[in-house]
Amino acid sequence: MDYKTIMCDVLVVGAGGAGCRAAIAASKHNLDVIMLSKELLGKAHTAMAEGGYNVSLGNVDPDDNPETHFKDTIVGGNYLNNQKLAEILVRDAPQRIFDLEDMGAVFDRTPEGKIAQRVFGKQSWRRTAYASDRTGSEIMVTLTEGIRKSSVRVFDEVFATKLLVTDGKIAGVCAVDLKYGDYLVFRAKAVVMATGGAGRIFSVTSNAQLDVGDGYGMAYEAGCEMIDMEMVQFHPTGMVKPESAKGRLVTEAVRGEGGILLNNEGERFMNRYYPEVMELAGRDQVARSIMTEVLEGRGSPDGGVYLSIAHLPRTIIEFRLESMIEQFEDAGVDIRDEPMLVSPTAHHFMGGIKIDEDSATNISGLYAAGECTGGVHGGNRLGGNALADTQVFGALSGENAAKYAKKNTHLGVDRDAIMSEFVNLEEMLKRKEGVSPADARDELTELMWNKVQIFRKEDEMQYAVKELRRIEKEVVPKIKVDVPVKRFNPGWHQAIEFAHMVTTARMVAEAAVMRKGSRGAHYRVDADPNEKGHYNIIIRKGKNGEMELRKEDLVITKITLP
Amino acid sequence: MAKTIKTRVQRYNPDSDDAPYFQEFDVEYEPGMTVLDALLYIQDKFDSSLAFRWECRGGQCGSCAVKVNRTARIACRTKVNPDENLVLEPLEKMPVIKDLVTDMAQTTFRIRRIRPYVARDKQPQHPEIIRAEEIEKLREIRKCIECSACLSNCPIVHETWDYPGPMIIRQLARLELDPRDVEDRVAMAMNESVYSCTTCRMCTDICPKKIDIPALAVELLRAKAVEAGYPLAEGQQAFLDSINETGRAVPVKDEPLLKQVKDAEFFVDNPRGRVAFFTGCLIDYRMQNTGKALIDVLNRNNIDVVVPKEQWCCASPAFRTGDLNTAHAAARRVTEIFEEACKKYNCDTVVVACAGCGKTLREDHRPFIESERGEPPLYKVYDMAEYMIQVIGKENIVPPKGEIKLKITYHEPCHLGRGQHVYDEPIELLKMIPGVEYIDDPYKNRCCGAGGGVRAGLRELSQKIALTKKEYIEATGADMVTTECPFCTIQINDMMKETNMQVRYIPDLLAESYRKGEGK
């Protein structure tokens, strides 16, 4: 098994909003920085974000300030946030958006020429900065320009599969060049994880192909502590058809403009759940209402419900919801006349790798930022806080990784561990018999969607936990790629991802079982009414390789629990 | 019964194959399915090693561009046509890594070379005041998701890497329009051969974000170049000087059409409509018979034709090459002439037979005049074929009776098809002529290489593009190629000189059939 070793000072794993920002920050310290991107540069999932970037600049509502932003974030997170991290988020968001502008970002303006801010879910003031309805794309395009200006070396379509740790300190990563199938080892003095979320462990998700939780898997295996893994945000409205579009977001603005939800009896069912606010109830409330209709048999044959704007004047639809007309044209639906088929969709992971106020993990030299981390958003995330998260903690982790790299040298790597990783990857191609990655993935995503979704129940989740342990022991070692080719083989890529998906799914399921009450995005139909739920669940790989869960006190600074 | 689509996909693993080959799959059709759905179906049911890129499946990331039936588009937003076979190939010009996955290194190299970021000379004060008007134009061309489909389709990039392609020229315009960028982007654009673009609009047509690159980027940079004092090519400058001096882009050779016609009024007994005829320079000075043919054809269909005797150039050469002074002056002049003519003769429609003039009147004059005086020109503009099929109505057209027994194919002028959205009408007219066997050219909408000032300014490049086009036309096996644009006619005539292929303008053919049909 041949592999190439590549040296650098700081290695950033992931090239989305957080990864690019971290790489740019690190490169300002006269260090050699490499950024690994699983996809082509600029095509990370950050580009899909539509809503905006929350920042308390006060350009539209002068009474807004970081304290209010902080309070909204904590309330939104149902008090489970690490308040130290939330303080950093609201404190640094302003400077980070100015950084983006310095790099050339083009945000919408107020009449005075300042960054415009608009209203967005559950916030006290108008603080969401935006670039029409493509803020994520704007940020991603800007960061790409920034990366091209910097001295960062970008390795496109290189997939890191394992963290290398020596004596409790980071030494580098094992990786595969997806284009040619070459095995690579990157040795670095400091590493930043910016690997995004894991929506793809569910069969219906808004996430791009690459969001499979490989970062969660790698970090857990290396010995990182993970936090709040049970907290998964389900957006109420995703598309259902065509197949490739399943789970794609249908923006909240459709309901904002007057869209109504109907079941298969033509009933406007929100009337039974939240009659005062109807379709404009909170995201998780609408998601639960829709899911209840589906589970009780009043959904469409394909599993969703109907979102209709056909009663609105055509001109309104054509002016304000132009992109929706386009989006549904693909599905062969003219939304001016016909209802849209929508279903809740797995959208964001609030939990992830546990970080401290330096954006550092519990492994020396290993930092993390963005959706792959946990603690900033607590039990539920405010719309608009995720983009801010990528920039604030992206910059922080890059800075600190650089400082660490300046004070440390390269560590040796365990070459036996490296070999065994690559042998393991090679085995997936060589096995004579086994389970195809596609079948394995279908089984996993269906299991998670059916048993660990919006409505959680003890016996269903216990079943999932049991099944996942079985899959980990019996299916993962048997994954067999159909065609034994290494050069750009999507089947092999999916096989490599599978183990990480299982690890991530296990963490979600087991943490969900442990939390007996409902809190944040975690909703139990059999919730223990006596449980207050004022703790975070930490997951760590034990000495004997078992997944260990424990409860930890919340990190509180300013806001005490009600 | 499930319908299946025959899908041919190009396979190639350079590690093990000597050359690319096609593999065919039967893909089950579902209404609304996209090309990405088809690829995922094949991957799932037949071959999980089929290599193609995709990520967001929502037209936002630009990962999944492939050639779909010869034209590059993003797979996730391209619907599968249930009545057609599907042929999927990798993007052009980029080496294949495997199957439909190409090596983007050349593109990355060309992007980096233009220093594609806002170059600042000093740290700005925060908050930075930027007014909405300052970034208005910028917002539109900012939206690019770097899918590279435009590069694959560009007829110029097909011939040379001197030109980096629409995506990258667009980035130069984005930076030029940004008030914060201090680099001389115009000099860069000149260095990147910005005058190579023929403004064929293939890029805009397939752009997932519908960015009008020729107008908003190419012509913008050219206008800035002219402003900055860069001299135009000799051939291009000659057109502009002529327009300014005489109102015509070319010098007189034979007696102009407008001198030949005795009156301005070509009226019929029972008119069903009345139009004013904008001739354009080439029909007036070089293709007088075509002008007469148009009048004849419209008269036979009971349309009064008004031909103002004093006309002016539409100044397309000026709009395309960036000489906005000449361009705007001409727009005002033309508007004045034709508003007066329409008022005098009580009509509200102008008909053209030149694709370039039509596009210029509709897409360049109209918004400029509107922005200047608050309302656009008070007349509608139609291409002749469009007017006949849409306004007169196909069922009302007097059927031509003269037989023209030929295999005829059609070249769609860029400024008629993508420029004015007139696609089928000329072909429908052709098919009305008895004896004509219409042969469809799958590449009919590919640029002939004459437009955008390229024939005048970069003759060698123009010929290369023309030669590629020639191959496609000859491949149809037709005896004659027809079109609706004088520039295309001249260019194609040039390229077909040594061959037996006839080149004809559609109005001329129609008039011939009418005349033949009445035994004259």
Q: What is the mean pLDDT of chain A?
A: 94
Note the pLDDT of residue B1: 61
Residues of B in contact with A491 (CB under 8 A): 43, 48-49
Q: Does B44 touch chain A if contact means CB atoms closer than 8 Å? A: yes
By CA distance, what is B52's nearest residue in A? A490
Give me the mean pLDDT over the B269-284 stretch. Answer: 96
Helices (H) and strands (E) in chain B, counts: 25, 16
C-alpha–C-alpha distance, residues A392 and A369, integer Å: 9
- Asked if residue B326 lies in contact with residue B313, where contact means CB atoms within 8 angstroms, the answer is no
B125 and A CB contact within 8 Å: no
Contact A46, A139 (CB under 8 A): yes
Reported as a pLDDT band with limits 50, 70 and 90, residue A140 is very high
Q: Is the pLDDT of residue A242 over 90?
A: no
Q: Give B29-78 pLDDT, tens digit per residue.
A: 988 889 999 999 999 999 999 999 999 998 999 999 999 999 999 999 99
B245-273 per-position pLDDT tens digit: 999 999 999 999 999 988 889 999 999 99
**Looking at the complex, does the CB of residue B29 fall below 8 Å from at least one CB of chain A?**
no
Instruction: Tell me, yes or no, if B76 comes closer than 8 A to chain A by beta carbon.
Output: yes
Catalytic residue among A69, A235, A288, A441: A235
Q: How far apart are the first and last CA of chain A?
A: 58
Residue of B nearest to A99 (CA): B126
**What three-state secondary structure class fits B43?**
helix
CA angle A410, A181, B149 (to 5 degrees): 110
Mean pLDDT of B463-472: 96
Band of residue B310 on the pLDDT scale cut at 50, 70, 90: very high
pLDDT tens digit sequence for A526-548: 999 999 999 999 999 999 999 99
What was the pLDDT predicted at B492? 96
Q: B137 to chain A nearest CA, in Å? A: 11
Written as six digits, the tokens of A342 are 């929508």
CA–CA separation, B106 vs B352, rounded Å? 42
pLDDT tens per residue, range A445-484: 999 999 999 999 999 999 999 999 999 999 999 999 999 9
CA distance A80 to chain B (A): 31
Can you give the pLDDT at residue B296? 96
Q: Note whether B144 contacts A141, CB cutoff 8 Å.
A: yes
Picking from B16, B55, B178, the nearest residue to A210 by CB comes out as: B55
pLDDT of residue A303: 84
pLDDT of residue A126: 92
CB A411 within 8 A of CB A171: yes
CB-closest option in B57, B108, B124 to A102: B124
Which one of A27, A209, A435, A441 would you mutate to disrupt binding with B, by most B Cβ within 10 Å of its Cβ? A209
pLDDT at B487 over 80: yes
The CA distance from A241 to the nearest CA of chain B, in Å, is 8
Q: A10 to chain B nearest CA, in Å? A: 22
Q: With contact defined as beta carbons under 8 Å apart, do A185 and A418 qualify? A: yes
Residues 6+ apart with CB under 8 A from A24: A143, A146, A147, A150, A152, A395, A398
Q: Would you list the DSSP string of A179-201? A: TTTEEEEEE-SEEEE-----GGG
How many other CB atoms sit within 10 Å of the CB of residue A68? 18
What pLDDT does A212 receive? 97
Q: Do B32 and A436 touch (CB under 8 A)?
A: no
Contacts with A42 from chain B: Cβ below 8 Å: 61-62, 145-146
Residue A240 with chain B: CB contacts under 8 Å:
none
Of all residues in chain B, the one with the smallest CA distance to A134 is: B143
CB contact under 8 A, B127 and A494: no
Q: Which of A21, A96, A200, A255 is catalytic?
A: A255
What was the pLDDT predicted at A561? 86
User: Among A291, A216, A228, which Cα is nearest to A456's?
Assistant: A291
Q: How close, in Å, is residue A212 to chain B by CA atoms?
A: 12
Query: Residue A45 catalytic?
Result: no
pLDDT above 70 covers a percentage of chain B that reads: 99
Residue B337: its pLDDT value, please?
A: 96
d(CA A191, CA A188): 7
CA distance A463 to chain B (A): 28
A388 phi, psi to nearest 5 deg = -60, -40
| Contact predicate A76/A389, CB 8 Å | no
Asked if residues B214 and B183 have their Cβ atoms less than 8 Å apart, the reply is no
pLDDT at res. B398? 95
pTM, to two decimals? 0.94
Please, which contacts does B63-71 make with residues 24 or more away whose CB atoms are closer than 8 Å? B63/A39, B63/A40, B63/A43, B63/B147, B64/B36, B64/B147, B65/B91, B65/B147, B65/B148, B65/B149, B65/B152, B66/B35, B66/B90, B66/B91, B66/B100, B67/B91, B67/B92, B67/B152, B68/B35, B70/B442, B70/B443, B71/B153, B71/B206
Give the pLDDT band of residue A323 (cuts 50, 70, 90).
confident
With an 8 Å Cβ cutoff, are A148 and B116 in contact?
yes
Mean pLDDT of A148-159: 97
Interior CA angle at B181 toward B175 and B187, to 5°? 65
Tokens of A161: 């599969």
How many whole angstroms separate alpha carbon B470 and alpha carbon B477? 12
User: What is the helix (H) or strand (E) element at residue A368, kind and residue range?
Assistant: strand A366-368
The confidence band for B231, taking pLDDT boundaries of 50, 70 and 90, is very high
* Among the partner residues A57, A146, A488, nearest to B97 by beta-carbon distance: A488
**Nearest one of B194, B192, B210, B142 to B171, comparing CA atoms:** B142
Residues 6 or more apart in contact with residue B219 via CB below 8 angstroms? B199, B319, B320, B322
DSSP for A380-410, please give it: S--TTHHHHHHHHHHHHHHHHHHHHHHH--P
- What integer is the mean pLDDT of A419-444? 96
Using CA atoms, how far apart are residues B98 and B107, in angstroms rounded to an integer? 17
Q: Which of A20, A95, A134, A243 to mutate to test the interface with B (most CBs of B within 10 A)?
A: A243
Residues 6+ apart with CB under 8 A from A494: A437, A438, A441, B48
Residue B352 CA, distance from chain mean position: 17
| Interface contact B13-A487, CB threshold 8 A | yes
What would the pLDDT profile of B98-130 be if each residue is shown by its tens digit? 999 999 999 999 999 999 999 999 999 999 999
Query: What are the tokens at B36?
Result: 């990405």
Nearest to B167 by CA among B96, B107, B103, B222: B107
| Phi, psi at A228, each rounded to 5° | 55, 35
- Under 8 Å CB pairs connecting chains A and B tally to 178
Over 80: is that where the pLDDT of B520 sits? no
Q: CA-to-CA distance for A506 and A467, rounded, in angstroms?
A: 9
Q: How confident is the model at residue B519 (pLDDT cuts 50, 70, 90)?
A: low
Instruction: Kindly tell me if the per-residue pLDDT of A63 is higher than 80.
Output: yes
3-state SS class at A478: helix
Looking at residue A46, its pLDDT comes to 96
- Among A103, A138, A245, the residue with its CB nearest the CB of B118 is A103
Q: State the Cα–Cα distance between residues A221 and A214, nearest whole angstrom.
A: 11
What does the block give as tokens for A351?
């939990």
Query: What's the CA gap between A469 and B315, in Å, rounded?
Result: 74
B362 DSSP 8-state letter: I
Average pLDDT over residues A238-262: 85
The DSSP 8-state label assigned to residue B424 in this structure reads S
Partners of residue B211 in chain A, C-beta under 8 Å = none
Q: Average per-residue pLDDT in chain B?
A: 95
Which of B44, B57, B126 has its CB closest to that of A438?
B44
Give contacts of B51 with chain A, Cβ < 8 Å. 487-490
Q: Beta strand A305-308 with A169-177: parallel, antiparallel or unpaired?
A: unpaired
Non-local (6+) Cβ contacts of B393 within 8 A are: none
pLDDT tens, residue by residue, A262-291:
999 999 999 999 999 888 887 888 999 999
Q: Per-residue pLDDT for A492 more than 60? A: yes
Nearest to B48 among A148, A327, A491 (CB): A491
Using the beta-carbon criterion (under 8 Å), do B57 and A180 form an inter-chain contact? no
Judge whether A36 and A15 are in contact, CB under 8 Å: yes
A255 is catalytic: yes
Best of B43, B48, B171 to substitute, by most chain A Cβ atoms within 10 angstroms, is B48
| Helix (H/G/I), strand (E/B), else coil: A463 | helix
Evaluate if residue A233 carries a pLDDT over 70.
yes
